[in-house]
Chains A and B, each alone.
Chain A
Amino acid sequence: MNDPQYGWWLPPDVSVHGADIDFMINAIHWFMLALFIFWGGFIVYCLIRFRARPGHVAIYRDIEAKWNRWLEIGVAVAETVVLVVFAMPVWAKIKDDLPLAPEQDAMVVRVVAEQFKWLFHYPGRDGTFGKTGPEFYADDNPAGLDFDDEAGWDDITVRGFHFPVDRPVIARLTAKDVIHSFKIPVMRITQDVVPGMEITIWFQAKETGRFQVGCAQLCGLGHYEMKANLVIESKEDFQKWLDEEHEALGLDE
């Protein structure tokens, strides 16, 4: 597996919503840098200005200056603005504003996390997911499909993640064993995956490319190996891949 080298700053952003997240990450980091420089300088100034020397004693009393209180209120307001104006709307868009309308033509994929790999489950040619349940998980059935359900027999269950560009993707995330976290750095997506729950998230890519899915929650000794190849491709290439995967199922034999 080729591990992409992302360099020193943020990895490339190929998602539609990613610019908002990058703005927030950048704004917070520059803000922190400004705070660090100011307070760092202030500490150095105080160390010199108020150093211990004969004839000077410490005063154990609060600062009485008014501007100090206004500064505290200002910091609280700035933090609230970052949270309410920037963070919450992005979160609400990804979490609650699901592209469920038929004209939005979202692709639905089920994602199963296990120690220590991802599994991606597509509904197959009939467009219907087969019945799944934790009671069906087995060595020869990692997706937990009910093998007696014909709707599931053409489902595609693979270890690499493919999805088309310029089309919303709804991911239904679930875990088999412990808490994992579904992370696609280039899609600016990070979402905890919890056993016994199905957590839904959506995203849309604006560029094609080959990237990687990772796990962002320490999930055991093999956590570092919990990754999957990610291929974001054109509509035609994605359809071609789906056809190949369908062929690989050997249903026509």
Chain B
Amino acid sequence: MSLLEVRGVTKRFEGLLAVDSVDLDVGEGDIVGVIGPNGAGKTTLFNCMSGLEAPTSGEIRFRGQMLSGRPDRFTKAGVARTFQNIRLFPHMTVFENVLVGRHCRTHVGLVAAIGRGPKFRREERESGEKADELLEFVGLRRQADTLARNLSYGDQRRLEIARALASEPGVLLLDEPRAGMNAAETRAAADLVRRIRDRGVAVAVIEHDMRFIFGLCDRVAVLVQGRKLVEGTPTEVQGDARVIEAYLGAPTA
């Protein structure tokens, strides 16, 4: 059974049909790619999948449970995401950014936070250990006390992933994780995505870089003008005439 099920999701903005009844499944241990030309509705689909936008119709289920409402409910249920244009908390340290990701897995309330009882201390310690482990995992342990805005571009992307992983998601949605990276960083990013999958977190990834997507994903969905054109293995998608047409245009007679 798939972990995250997207069923007939449609998103309409005024006159524009951004996403048109799309189905998508992300199963346990999957790396699913979503590609498509600019304006195909990829990010809007992700926004619907992570609660940032409510779909006009259709539904999103995670482990069989229907998801709706504000984004924090999606994250708490187990769907975390990163953003195409990195959205960190720039004036917080790298470590604090990851701790914010722990928020929905911790429970200390007002009174306990003021009282500083043993429960508070244990939870803070556990969050700190978890954050340290995640920073080690993405390779930012040494920058833990740096302000997020002072990180290099590639490091900011990795920090965003660490923050998302801190909420212990079942599915991680990555929106263009290699944008602005050079070849070496791109290889490291692909490696990181595989390691995330090996941790038991399924991944759905939007990317324009075909080599990145086809080298990484088990399945690839192609979105064109809001509709899912094709879905299949990288080989199937690469050979599909409709995909080539969508990207390059129909051959003129």
Do A and B come from the same complex?
no
Residue positions of B touching A, CB distance < 8 A: none
